[in-house]
Every structure is written in C-alpha cells, then in structure tokens.
Amino acid sequence: WLDRLPDPFVREDHEAGYNYRISILQAEFSRTQVFDRPLSGRHLFEEVIRENLDLGRPSKVSLIFNRGINKRTPGTFQTRVITQGVIPSLHVSYKSSKIKQYFKEDHALRTETTINNTHDFGLGRSLKNLPELRAIGFAANCRLLEVETISQDCSLAEGVFEQVTRPQIIDGKRVSGLRFDDHRVIGLLQTLCGFLLLPNGFSNSSMREWMAQILGIPADQYSPGRMTYDLRRLRLHGLIERIPHTHRYQVTEMGTRIAFFFTKIHSRIFRPGLSQLFNGCPKAPNRMITTAINKLDHAIASLFQQAKLAPCKT
C-alpha cells in the first residue's frame, strides 16, 4: 500500500537512501472476552465498575502500566466512570495513554489500551518499535483483568476459613489465628491487597509503613518487632511466602483470595450493615436491613402473644 502514496522522491533519492519513515502516532491494543451468558457478563461488569473506583490511584496505575510514578509525572490520577448517555465504561490513564473497559454490544467485555505517545514508555515512534509496544499494551490489559478477576472470585471453603481464623500448629510451630474481628488483621489484609502485583514483592519496612497509615497511627507506634510477628503469622498461614535468597515477601494465590474475601465482607457487609442495625446512619435513603429486622421483631412479638407467652406486666 505504500506504493499508492504520493512519492516526492525521484529514483536518485531512493538510491541515496531517502524514503518514507513510518512512525506510530497512536496504537490501540484490545482484548475482547465473549460471554456465553450475556446477562452474567453484564452483571460482572457492573460489579467491576462498582468495586474498582480506586484503580486510578498512582499506586494502582503504576502496577497496571508497570511504570514508576512520582510528583513530576504528568496527568490526573483518578478513575473515570462514564455512564450518562453512553455505554457505561471504566477509564484509567497514565500520561498520554489510557485503558478503557466497557461491555460491548451486550455480549463481550472489551478492554482497550490506547497509547498516544510512545515516549511515555521510553520508546521512539518508529514502526520497528511496534512489537515492544504491543507487549506493553497487552500486558497492561492482562494486569487490569487479573486484578478484576481476583476481586470477583474470592469465595472460600468453610474449612479454609476455619484454618485461617483459628490457632494452628504448622510445621511444629504454634501460630495464632487471623481473627475476623481484629482490626489489625483487617489492616494487614487491606495492605496485602495493595501489594498483590508488585514484581519484587515487599519488605518488612514497606509493609510496616503502609500498616501504620491504614491503622491511623505513627509509624514508630507500630514496631519492627510487631511487624515481624504479623509477617510470621501471614507466612505460616500460607498467605505470603518469602522470595528465595531475599528478605522480601510476595502474596500467594491463597493470600490473594483471603485478603479480598475478608476486606470485602468487612467493608461491604459488616460496617454498613451494623451501622444500619444500630441507627448509625439514620438519614440513609435505603435502610432495608433496619426495616427487615423491625418487621422480624414485630412478628416474633406477635407470635409470643398468640402463644400467650408474652411476659406479664407488673
């Protein structure tokens, strides 16, 4: 098709090496996953949008695009969800590039990485760099999908739940359980959710810094010894593993599931549910739990009265 383009070069120019130099102005790399049950796919994507509003944070963008981000990195780091008047879509940006995800034609989940400036990834615009650019684009798609797949598939068997939450003897060593009602345990698991895709894992000091932020305490109040104890608990329960020949750790597949399961139940059910039960949010527009519990109380009281078991008033 190059032969059809207007050619300003004469034969002598070509013989001297002058010719077109093809460059990349924009490249799009997409992945389309078709669902055999479109309604299930639609529900999945609606949950993905609801659960992943923090994907635009600098730490998440850095993981998805595998690029370092500092104060001088251009761009606004936020997740954009566009719903009004168009097909709902999720957008995550890095410099001049972005990932867009939407449910296409009610049948398929479409993930598109668009690179508008190859220099964002340290590559020139020459067409010879296309293979490297393809690898970057498709890898970004995969990282985004990996995070979303994990968050949507975190169910645990009852046996695994008890194994993690109760004290155990593992390899002859006693380890305390990761109690579901312990705010420190929830903080540990929330921190693990942020470390899932770090290629070099994490260290005692980095974990300690994040834990202090999540617990809302100064770093010096969360001692290295306490962090070592918590890392030991996570390791013996199988949630993390040490990277060979280093002092760094990485999250296991089991740790990924448990971290998402605990944090989702805690933030989506326990906190808002208990708040409604005990009038913690009296102005909430939808208090179905409170209404249902009140109906149950009235029904039980009526049953006692019918059975003439109501307590006598004195």
Vertex 173, ends 187 and 171: CA angle to 5°?
Answer: 105
User: In which band, very low, low, confident or very high, does the pLDDT at 223 lie, cut at 50, 70 and 90?
Assistant: very high
3-state helix, strand, coil in the chain (%, to 5): 50, 15, 35
**Contact status, residue 217 vs residue 241, Cβ threshold 8 Å:** no
Mark whether 161 and 148 lie in a shared domain: no
Question: Among the three residues 125, 152, 179, which one is the final residue of a domain in this structure?
Answer: 152
Who has greater pLDDT, 256 or 306? 256
Mark whether 99 and 76 lie in a shared domain: yes
Cα 28 to its chain centre, rounded Å, is 23
Mark whether 110 and 175 lie in a shared domain: no
Contacts of residue 297, defined as CB under 8 A and 6 or more positions apart, other chains included, come to none
Give the three-state DSSP class for 98: strand
User: In which band, very low, low, confident or very high, does the pLDDT at 1 lie, cut at 50, 70 and 90?
Assistant: low
Across residues 5-22, what is the average pLDDT?
A: 78
Q: How far apart are CA 206 and CA 219, in angstroms?
A: 11
In one-letter notation, the amino acid at residue 18 is Y
pLDDT at residue 77, rounded to an integer: 52
Mark whether 63 and 165 lie in a shared domain: no
67: domain CATH number? 3.30.530
Name which of 182, 143, 145 is nearest 262 in CA terms.
182
Q: How far apart are CA 256 and CA 240, in angstroms?
A: 9
Range of the domain at 237: 156-314
Question: Among the three residues 124, 152, 180, which one is the final residue of a domain in this structure?
Answer: 152
Contacts of residue 64, defined as CB under 8 A and 6 or more positions apart, other chains included, come to 55, 92, 94, 99, 140, 143, 144, 147
Question: Among the three residues 152, 175, 203, which one is the final residue of a domain in this structure?
Answer: 152
> Which tokens belong to 92?
């995550």
Mark whether 119 and 203 lie in a shared domain: no
Q: pTM value?
A: 0.51
Mark whether 128 and 167 lie in a shared domain: no
Contacts 24+ apart (CB under 8 A), 99-105: 99/64, 99/140, 99/141, 99/144, 101/45, 101/48, 101/144, 102/45, 103/41, 103/42, 103/45, 104/32
Q: What is the DSSP letter of 95?
A: T
Phi first, then psi, for residue 275 (nearest 5°) are: -60, -40
Q: Quick one: CA dihedral 210, 211, 213, 214, positive or negative?
A: positive
Q: How far is CA 8 from CA 3, 14, 19, 21, 43, in A?
A: 12, 10, 9, 13, 55
Mark whether 10 and 62 lie in a shared domain: yes
Per-residue pLDDT tens over the stretch 81-96 = 655 555 678 888 777 8
Does position 314 have pLDDT exceeding 60, yes or no?
no
Q: How far apart are CA 78 and CA 204, in angstroms?
A: 29
Mark whether 186 and 174 lie in a shared domain: yes
Mark whether 114 and 175 lie in a shared domain: no
Mark whether 178 and 245 lie in a shared domain: yes
Highest mean pLDDT among 56-65, 165-174, 234-243, 273-282: 234-243
The partner residues of 231 in beta bridges, in order of sequence, read: none
Mark whether 6 and 67 lie in a shared domain: yes
Element (H, E) at 111: strand 108-115
Across residues 225-249, what is the average pLDDT?
A: 93
Number of domains in the chain: 2
The partner residues of 128 in beta bridges, in order of sequence, read: none
Mark whether 18 and 121 lie in a shared domain: yes
